[in-house]
Amino acid sequence: MLCHGTPSGDLDYFLETVNETGCRAATLAEVETRAEDFSGSLLLCGHTHLPRCVELADGRLVVNPGSVGLQAYDAIWPHPHRIETGSPHARYAMAERNGAGWRVEFVQVAYDWETQAQLAERNGRPEWARALRTGLV
């Protein structure tokens, strides 16, 4: 299964929770609730750009591979919060099914982020330029 946010909401975070104080890693109970209607053994999600894997009690995996192009951003919904990876590296994940289930490997790759940051600046996005250079808001 592949979704942007959660299977039930494109703009919802699957592995993170946002409240009045900001964004934090979702608890296992929160992730379990969000995965209730999903029956596959592997769910790939995105939206937060944060690489993370959570194994549910029944063995299913929920994986966010990260982002290949934007390592930090500010958001205002449902409350103001920041998402930051802390470095500019592109991120992705590889999932391989084996006899024991799924094996997930997270990869981060250096690329020419300075050129992309300059492009963001030329397009009036200085906040994205900083995020591209640093992985920070």
Per the domain annotation, does 112 fall within a domain? yes
pLDDT tens-place string over residues 68-108: 999 999 999 999 999 999 999 999 999 999 998 999 999 99
Residue 64: strand pairing partners: 52
The domain spanning residue 59 has which CATH number?
Answer: 3.60.21.10
pLDDT of residue 113: 97
Whether the pLDDT of residue 53 is over 90: the answer is: yes
- Please tell me the total count of domains within the chain: 1
Per the domain annotation, does 6 fall within a domain? no
CA dist., res. 3 & res. 130, Å (int): 28
Strand stretches in the chain, DSSP E: 16-19, 22-25, 42-44, 52-55, 61-64, 72-75, 81-84, 90-98, 101-109
pLDDT of residue 130: 98
pLDDT of residue 100: 87
Whether the pLDDT of residue 37 is over 90: the answer is: no
Mean pLDDT of the chain: 96
Whether the pLDDT of residue 38 is over 90: the answer is: no
